[in-house]
Amino acid sequence: MADVSWPWQYSFPPFFTIQPHSETRQKQLAAWEELIAQYLKATKQSIIDIREAPNTPLFNNAAINRRLSQDAILTILEDMARCGKAAPIDKTKNVWEVYWHSLDEWGNMIYNWVSANGLNNSVCTLFELREGENTEGEEFHGLDINILIKALKTLEVKGKCELIEFEDNQGVKFF
């Protein structure tokens, strides 16, 4: 598992209870959102299931015997969704995609890489983008396929690419 740098709040017991005072609550939510993004980035994850999450190291600090409740995790994820950093996958809001970059930021990163490598007016498979040798070292290498597709759709809306399907494979033509 990747090294995670826990902020000071992680060892502060009240951090694990959503605070009632609005200003304190906003700071707390911002701190949790930053921690979640950093943790998922470090561990190369993008999915949180709030039914299981309270048992993970992210939401359970065994050293101080504190755990964030499912309701509190949902509150944080809903706040992240308001600013485009998360989205529920299911209608019950139990499973969430979390973006440590917004979909626009991911799309721009990919497009900048395409442009820097002279791949405009060419087709790449989604496999090449996610797992190809040419993308090793890029932040989007290994990105969850669903997040990759959503990021590419932001580029498609801007007229910078077109998602295509061919022979049981998915690809993208960049313009």
In this chain, the answer to whether the domains covering 8-98 and 103-174 adopt an identical fold is yes
Q: Which residue do the tokens 């980035």 mark?
A: 41
- For the 8-98 domain, the top CATH level (class) is mainly alpha
Laid out side by side, the sheet with 161-166 consists of: 122-125, 169-174, 161-166
User: Which residues of the chain have a pLDDT value below 70?
Assistant: 1-2
Cβ pair 163, 116 in contact under 8 A? no
The tokens describing 107, both together, are 């799309």
Domain coordinates in residue numbering, the chain: 8-98, 103-174
CATH node for 103-174? 1.10.10.10
pTM of the model: 0.82
* Residue 2, pLDDT score: 56
Strands 95-98 and 86-88: antiparallel
Q: pLDDT tens digits for 121-166?
A: 999 999 999 999 999 999 899 899 999 999 999 999 999 999 998 7
DSSP H helix total and E strand total for the chain:
5, 8
* Residue 1, pLDDT score: 46
* Residue 168, pLDDT score: 78
* Residue 92, pLDDT score: 94
The tokens describing 36, both together, are 């979640």
